[in-house]
């Protein structure tokens, strides 16, 4: 089938996105808990529950908490180490004396070598080993690695030990971790702002479920399409995309299909994947209903070949990572709003004017990262911004790495801190999945499932009576533990939050702050743990922390009157 016909079929087959019930009855109570009086509904985006007027979510790829924080705040500081790619001397790291004790790290749990129950012991990765093999992070594989809660089968079920040129591998690679000599910027943000040691993916599995949970708390409601855009009424056993479909072909996403409402699906990689489209609502729909400005900004979103004369756009811009590999910037399955007809920008059209950024228009709130850079220091910076790095900087093992990622995060946060909007902004750094990297903590299952895709971890929970929200299968979670940081004038300094949270806690913070109501339809946002303990909403800090964008070390501290 010609590519042009495929695109036509995508648009015609999905139709109108269904509605979802908005739950708003608890908003007033939530505001009182924050110590902030609720405003009137008519005040739009100015009516926020907290002093935060701008939320920026930097949503990165494929990191478990132990992979980045196993020995925090102690780094090896090994003499003579250099960074991969640049050949620069690796930075040293010395923790502040008042760094909190009792952080749930691998070292504090007593699970470094030789005491780890897995068949191969954890080992430190040096700054010269930044680019590594990608691990197995499938929905079922991660459950098997949990071994019914013993957390001792990661080597057997998620470790991938050998891979391409200039990518480090070893037997049992999944067990390995970085420290503050490599992830220096992340550790410095943790030292100066707030982090969590009890934050999890909402469900088990890879990138697309994580992205969908961030914006809707819902991986059910998916329709599968062939790579040519034809609906698949009954996905086959082992389907790449949608599992357990009902009589209407609607099921749950557990893998990484490309979005059906995206010209660039299947054009940015060698394989031709099945596609998926989502029904229901997402946070973009809720923000639109409240007239709150927002946008998703992703590296490589600007097409290299625009759509024209019935031919779809293609998105093939690229950059080189620290290992010298050329990496395509745009990944369609990392862009959750493209799965929904209501919030998609299928042809990757740019905003007609700068004033359109964050508002309704031909781009439909979906933009290239360059659009965020245009408005970050203006009155037109959206109230809610989701930022996705180009693939070489998104932190995903194999094609990205912590050094390229550090460059993106520090450059972005520096830009925000130097802007006029910093005074009322909260930057949230979060991840879409764990990549299968080992982490020693498993949260108790709160949403069960018991299908052929589920192993003992989730099946046991279902058998013991843990409910299955909405009756929707294959949404077992929480999944693996991941890093979470809040960088803001209202973030507590050098603070570690132990409150259990998940990806939908970010969604819930946005919902509550702008009084949007909730997604409904058994979305995980309804039960999400709060991020509020990471903030002090009664006192805005007067300092900024500018980091070196190559090394992650502290470049300057600025104290100002606000």
CA distances from 216 to 212, 275, 479 (A): 6, 19, 17
Q: Do 481 and 443 form a contact (C-beta atoms < 8 A)? A: yes
| pLDDT (tens digit per residue) in 273-315 | 789 999 999 999 999 999 999 999 999 999 999 999 888 999 9
- Average pLDDT value for residue range 411-422: 98
For residue 474, whether the previous peptide bond is cis, meaning omega lies within 30 degrees of 0, is no
If you average pLDDT over every residue of the chain, what do you get? 90
pLDDT of residue 560: 62
pLDDT tens track for 483-525: 999 999 999 999 999 999 999 999 999 999 999 999 999 999 9
Instruction: Give pLDDT, residue 267.
Output: 65
196 Cβ contact partners less than 8 Å away, ≥ 6 residues apart: 483, 484, 485, 496, 497, 498, 499, 501, 531, 534
Share of the chain above pLDDT 70, in %: 89
234 burial class (0-12, 13-18, 19+ CB within 10 angstroms)? exposed
Calculate mean pLDDT across residues 405-433. Answer: 98
- Single pTM value for the model: 0.91
Name the phi and psi angles at 148, rounded to 5: 55, 30
Statement: residue 362 has pLDDT above 90? yes
Residue 12 clears pLDDT 50, i.e. is over it: no
Report residue 239's pLDDT band, with 50, 70 and 90 as the boundaries: low
The two three-digit tokens of residue 185, written as one number = 């910027």
Question: What distances in angstroms separate CA 277 from CA 15, 226, 239, 299, 361, one per listed residue?
Answer: 10, 11, 15, 22, 22
Given a cut of 60, is residue 407 above it in pLDDT? yes
pLDDT at 122: 98
% pLDDT > 90, the chain: 83
List the helix and strand counts (H, then E) for the chain: 12, 19
Question: Is residue 21 scored above 60 in pLDDT?
Answer: no
Those residues with Cβ within 8 angstroms of residue 22's Cβ, 6 or more apart along the chain or in another chain: 286, 516, 517, 518, 520
User: pLDDT at residue 31 above 50?
Assistant: no
Using pLDDT thresholds of 50, 70 and 90, give the confidence band for residue 16. very low
Mapping DSSP onto H, E and C, the string for 320-371 reads ECCCCCEEECCCHHHCHHHHEHHHCCCCCCCCCCHHHCCCCCCCCCEEEHHH
pLDDT tens digits, one per residue of 124-164: 999 999 999 999 999 999 999 999 999 999 999 999 999 98
pLDDT at 426: 98
What band does 15 get if pLDDT is binned at 50, 70 and 90? Answer: very low
DSSP conformation class of 477: B
Give the pLDDT score at 26.
41
Q: What pLDDT, on the 0 to 100 scale, is given for residue 222?
A: 94
What is the pLDDT, as a whole number, of residue 37? 35
Distance of CA 478 to the CA centre of its chain: 14
pLDDT of residue 29: 41
Say what the pLDDT of residue 236 is.
58
| Residue 310, pLDDT score | 81
Q: At 431, is the secondary structure helix, strand, or coil?
A: strand
Confidence of residue 229 (pLDDT cuts 50, 70, 90): confident
Which of 19-28, 309-318, 489-498, 531-540 is predicted with the least confidence, judged by mean pLDDT?
A: 19-28
CATH of domain 3-101+179-448+469-559: 3.40.720.10
pLDDT at 27 over 80: no
Q: How far is CA 51 from the centre of its chain?
A: 24
Q: Is the pLDDT of residue 202 over 90?
A: yes
What are the tens digits of pLDDT across the range 64-86?
Answer: 999 999 999 999 999 999 999 99
Please report the pLDDT score of residue 46 as a whole number.
Answer: 57
- Report the pLDDT value the prediction gives residue 215, as an integer from 0 to 100: 98
Q: Which residue has the higher pLDDT, 42 or 108?
A: 108
């Amino acid at each position: 089938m010609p590519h042009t016909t495929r695109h036509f079929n995508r648009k015609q087959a999905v139709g109108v996105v269904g509605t979802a019930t908005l739950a708003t009855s608890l908003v007033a109570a939530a505001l009182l808990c924050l110590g902030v009086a609720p405003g009137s509904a008519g005040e739009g985006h100015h009516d926020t529950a907290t002093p935060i007027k701008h939320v920026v979510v930097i949503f990165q790829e494929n990191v478990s908490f132990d992979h980045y924080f196993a020995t925090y705040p102690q780094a090896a500081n090994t003499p003579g180490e250099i960074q991969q790619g640049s050949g620069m001397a690796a930075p040293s790291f010395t923790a502040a004396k008042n760094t909190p004790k009792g952080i749930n790290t691998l070292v504090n749990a007593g699970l470094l070598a030789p005491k780890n129950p897995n068949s191969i012991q954890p080992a430190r990765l040096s700054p010269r080993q930044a680019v590594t093999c990608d691990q197995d992070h499938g929905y079922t594989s991660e459950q098997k690695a949990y071994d019914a809660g013993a957390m001792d089968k990661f080597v057997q079920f998620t470790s991938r030990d050998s891979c391409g040129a200039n990518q480090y591998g070893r037997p049992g690679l999944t067990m390995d971790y970085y420290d503050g000599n490599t992830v220096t910027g992340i550790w410095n943000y943790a030292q100066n702002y707030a982090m969590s040691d009890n934050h999890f993916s909402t469900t088990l599995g890879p990138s697309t479920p994580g992205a969908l949970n961030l914006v809707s708390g819902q991986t059910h409601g998916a329709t599968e399409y062939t790579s040519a855009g034809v609906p698949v009424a009954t996905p086959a056993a082992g389907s790449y995309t949608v599992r357990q479909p009902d009589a209407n072909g609607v099921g749950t996403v557990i893998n990484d299909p490309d979005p059906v409402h995206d010209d660039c699906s299947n054009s940015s990689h060698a394989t031709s994947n099945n596609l998926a489209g989502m029904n229901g609502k997402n946070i973009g729909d809720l923000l639109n209903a409240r007239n709150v400005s927002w946008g998703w900004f992703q590296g490589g979103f600007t097409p290299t070949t625009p759509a024209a004369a019935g031919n779809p756009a293609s998105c093939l811009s690229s950059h080189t990572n620290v290992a010298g590999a050329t990496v395509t910037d745009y990944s369609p399955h990392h862009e959750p709003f493209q799965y929904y007809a209501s919030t998609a920008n299928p042809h990757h059209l740019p905003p007609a004017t700068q004033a359109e950024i964050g508002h309704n228009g031909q781009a439909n709130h979906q933009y290239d990262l360059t659009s965020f850079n245009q408005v970050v220091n203006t009155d037109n910076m959206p109230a809610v911004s989701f930022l996705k790095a180009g693939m070489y900087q998104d932190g995903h093992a194999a094609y990205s790495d912590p050094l390229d990622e550090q460059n993106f995060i520090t450059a972005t946060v520096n830009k925000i801190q130097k802007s006029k909007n910093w005074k009322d902004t909260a930057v949230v750094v979060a991840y879409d999945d764990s990549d299968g990297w080992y982490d020693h903590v498993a949260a108790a299952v709160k949403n069960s499932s018991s299908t052929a895709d589920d192993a003992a971890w989730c099946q046991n929970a279902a058998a013991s009576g843990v409910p299955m929200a909405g009756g929707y299968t294959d949404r077992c979670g929480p999944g693996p533990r991941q890093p979470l940081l809040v960088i803001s004038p209202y973030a507590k300094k050098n603070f570690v939050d132990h409150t259990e949270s998940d990806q939908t806690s970010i969604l819930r913070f946005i919902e509550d702050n702008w009084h949007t109501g909730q997604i409904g339809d058994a979305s995980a946002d309804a039960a999400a743990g709060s991020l509020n303990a990471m903030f002090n909403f009664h006192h805005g800090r007067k300092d900024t922390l500018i980091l070196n964008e190559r090394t992650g070390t502290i470049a300057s501290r600025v104290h100002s009157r606000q």
